[in-house]
Structure 1
Amino acid sequence: MKTLKIGVMLLALLLAAMIMVPMVSAAETSSTSTQMVKVDPKTDTLGFVAVDVITIDPAVKNATPYYQILVLNDEGKQNLLNNIDSASSVVASDSMFTTEAKTSMKASLTNLWKKYPVIYETKKGGSGYPTYGGTITTIRFAPDIKGPHLTDQENLVLNNTQTMLNEAYTQKQANAITPMWATDPTHKRISYWAAYKESFPQPDTVASASMEPDSWYDSIPDPFAALVHSWYHYYDPALAKGGAPGQTLAWVTQAKSYYNSKDYTNAAINLGWASHFLEDVGNPMHTGKESDQISNPWVHSKYEGYVGKWWSTSTNGAASFEDIVKNNNNYYGYSDWSQGTMNLASYSHGYVDTIYTKVYNKGLNWDLTRDTSIDAITQNLIQATAQYTNGLALYARSG
């Protein structure tokens, strides 16, 4: 009898253990995602830092396709003149790079800056996006300059200046612009942490797969590869053009389907692909200023190189870009991730003039030294991109 009682007790304990173990496992599995907090992207300000935003008056943009040279600050003007001095070509017969041609070009630029002066009007920004309490600086022509349009000869000077810089840039670079974030580590780390924090299976696979879309078009000959690549990794909300929203939606839908059928490896791969296209539009260079970037590809490249170089390094007590992603437990939730991608692009697009202008002022020979104003805007972009990607991973796992 005693033996029977002991057996019954052991059986009861075993049954209890069988019941309790799954309950504990379920709690552990979901503990990461239950710590995640859904926030409204329209009102979210927590963790975002004050930034100084630049806007360029439409009258300046309409005056010339090369308006970026006109809006340079004093540092930017000097850097441009220095870039002209240091520019060289492997083509010995290229007359643009002679000392005489450079002297003439610099004199013409100086005259244009005197003829079309710009002013900088700064005011306090609001407490939310895009400044989060920082400032907005509008660059416009001086009051006595009334709606100018540069002459053909003046535009030729600016065109020749950009041509010289781009040829010099091409000589220095092994590869031309690739339309992506500084892929390693940016895509990898944002994708990894989103999957990890949302309890998505195989976060390392998600991270690895997030790198792959940039090589999908390698077999297509240029310039078609660059055109196809740019289209699918881009969305301009001002034009409502670009393929990134459709790509994000297509691959996250596949990820969700694989997850539901318990094929976790393919689910992770497809989530990584979806994450890539979403994260791309978190970079302002993927959301506008198309003609400017064609004319000045080095600006795009310099900015991405900057983010990649300083990804894991904090400065002045501020968190590193990696820490911003790792420690962010907020997410934006969408049932339509085409719309989610467009919304992130709209957020990012609000900084495109600022980032482009700040990098252009640094000049072609910028050695990527730290810049606190570029850091602050990048921190906000990285945080927003991470919160969108967190939501994407949760959607692929649970809808």
Structure 2
Amino acid sequence: MIKRYGTLIASIAMVLCLCLIPSATASEENQDVQVVKDASQLKMETLEAELGEEGMKEVADYLKLQASLPKVVKVSPYSWIAFVATDKEKQKTMLVVIDEANLPKENEKQLKNKLQDIWNRYPDKITADDNIVLCQVNEIMENNFKAREELYEAQTESTDVGIRWAGSGHRDYAYYACDGSAYDDTAADASIVPDNGEMDPEPFYRYYNHYEDALLGIGGAPGRCEEFATSAIFAVNNGYWETAHERFGFASHYLTDPGIPFHSKGSIDGLGSFQPALFNVLYHTTYESYVSQQWPTGTTYEFGEYVSGNQQSITVTDPASAVENNADHSAQYFDYITSEMLLNSNWRTDLMLNYYTAQCVQESARYAHGLYDYIM
């Protein structure tokens, strides 16, 4: 895992020296990524130019930190709160939110002191017991986020909040991975079926099977991807091309879901168990709704163009491992994206958050291409 992060950090260092080069990506062992400046990559370079040298240095520093974090920090569903230790302004914002939570004064003082102690010990001296305090803080931050987003929805008349990567996102991943196949619509239509609540029954598997914590090896997505990829290969070997593309569409869903940071981190409790309540937090659904809204061409960030414009693939030799590695890639962005959403009311316009999102989308598109090549 550190080796993969190191590749990305080294690539960013080259960006600082040479201005702009294609962004590096995390991937499978022995991956084969052909460096092509396709439309997706050129779009990414435009975003990197907006970030500038200082912004790209911030990216490199962030990824270096993520790669070096102790396991006890990485596995915490509240690691984003500890991560705030790196940003004084976010610390101030968080303390103000605690002030406004109407806690008994003595409780408020104790909580703030304990939180400051955690920040002082971040990252190398954090313990599992710190999750007790972090959980309390997380609840306060969630409540504040809910109130803030309700106000935002009222002001913008927006009620479109839900797990929405499943719509245009999944369809595009499957469709464009097929490279013009006569059955590309079959694959696209199939890609959204796993979210129907029937393939993966409520209440547990509906979420567990769409999740993978690569560090802990917890989640059902790798197994489901492997299952449908194997079924697709069987169909190919017997000449059932339409069925093969249907099964590829199913498999692509379970491959690309963990490309979302909230599908790769934050849902495992202190006992190592997947918790649907942690998975279904409001900031998860709000984030996916935002990405869905920014997916079409003509929006500010046009995330869909990192898929439709992608011509690169990451070689897949084992579908389950591909899911784990895609999850590993997206999980590193969890701390920044979550802290930005919960502590910045203008998070939707934060360039870094949108850059990290674009990285996740592009990486998932490359894996989808690789999976299609593996099957077909």
- Give TM class, smaller chain: 0.5 to 0.7
Q: Name the one with the larger strand percent.
A: 1
- Report the CA distance shift for 1:112/1:279 in structure 2 as closer, same or farther (over 3 A): same
Q: Contact 1:177/1:297 (CA < 8 Å) preserved in 2?
A: no
Write the mapping of 1:218-297 to structure 2, written as runs, cut at 5 A. 220=201, 225-291=202-268, 294-295=277-278, 297=281
- Report the CA distance shift for 1:60/1:314 in structure 2 as closer, same or farther (over 3 A): farther
Separation in 2, partners of 1:192, 1:71: 37
Separation in 2, partners of 1:170, 1:371: 16
Identical aligned residues as a percent: 24
| Map of 2:351 onto structure 1 | 372
Q: Kindly indicate whether residue 373 of structure 2 is the aligned counterpart of residue 394 of structure 1.
A: yes
Q: Structure 1 stretch 48-57 or stretch 376-385: which is displaced more? A: 48-57
Separation in 2, partners of 1:391, 1:175: 32
Write the mapping of 1:49-60 to structure 2, written as runs, cut at 5 A. 50=56, 51-52=59-60, 53=62, 55=65, 57-58=69-70
Q: Contact 1:76/1:361 (CA < 8 Å) preserved in 2?
A: no
Separation in 2, partners of 1:207, 1:244: 18
Deviations for 1:88-142, whole angstroms, at most 9, x for unmatched residues?
xxxxxxxxx7xx54877665554445555449xxxxxxxxxxxxxxxxxxx548x
| Map of 1:331 onto structure 2 | 313
Task: Give the total of aligned pairs.
Answer: 310
1:309 pairs with one of 293, 296, 300: 293
Measure how far apart 1:390 and its partner are: 0.9
Q: Kindly indicate whether residue 351 of structure 2 is the aligned counterpart of residue 382 of structure 1.
A: no
Measure how far apart 1:79 and its partner are: 6.0
In angstroms, what is the RMSD of aligned CA positions?
4.3
Separation in 2, partners of 1:156, 1:368: 22
Separation in 2, partners of 1:332, 1:65: 29
**TM-score for both structures, normalised by structure 1:** 0.62
Separation in 1, partners of 2:194, 2:138: 33
1:191 pairs with one of 174, 192, 198: 174
The aligned amino acid for 2:262 is M
Deviations for 1:249-293, whole angstroms, at most 9, x for unmatched residues?
221222233344443332322111111001112122222332478
Separation in 2, partners of 1:381, 1:104: 43
Separation in 1, partners of 2:294, 2:246: 27
Measure how far apart 1:242 and its partner are: 2.2
- Report the CA distance shift for 1:367/1:332 in structure 2 as closer, same or farther (over 3 A): same
Q: Kindly indicate whether residue 303 of structure 2 is the aligned counterpart of residue 321 of structure 1.
A: yes
- Report the CA distance shift for 1:185/1:79 in structure 2 as closer, same or farther (over 3 A): farther
Deviations for 1:121-167, whole angstroms, at most 9, x for unmatched residues?
xxxxxxxxxxxxxxxxxx548xxx89796597x57853763674588
Q: Contact 2:315/2:370 (CA < 8 Å) preserved in 1?
A: yes
Q: Contact 1:59/1:140 (CA < 8 Å) preserved in 2?
A: no
The aligned amino acid for 2:296 is S
- Report the CA distance shift for 1:273/1:116 in structure 2 as closer, same or farther (over 3 A): closer
| Map of 2:183 onto structure 1 | 202
| Map of 1:215 onto structure 2 | 196
Measure how far apart 1:368 and its partner are: 5.3
Write the mapping of 1:135-154 to structure 2, written as runs, cut at 5 A. 140=123
Measure how far apart 1:391 and its partner are: 1.8
Is the radius of gyration larger for structure 1 or structure 2?
1
- Report the CA distance shift for 1:40/1:330 in structure 2 as closer, same or farther (over 3 A): farther
Q: Contact 1:217/1:228 (CA < 8 Å) preserved in 2?
A: no
**TM-score for both structures, normalised by structure 2:** 0.65
Separation in 1, partners of 2:234, 2:105: 63
Q: Contact 1:232/1:247 (CA < 8 Å) preserved in 2?
A: yes
Q: Kindly indicate whether residue 31 of structure 2 is the aligned counterpart of residue 41 of structure 1.
A: yes
Q: Structure 1 stretch 211-220 or stretch 277-286: which is displaced more? A: 211-220
Q: Contact 1:280/1:286 (CA < 8 Å) preserved in 2?
A: yes
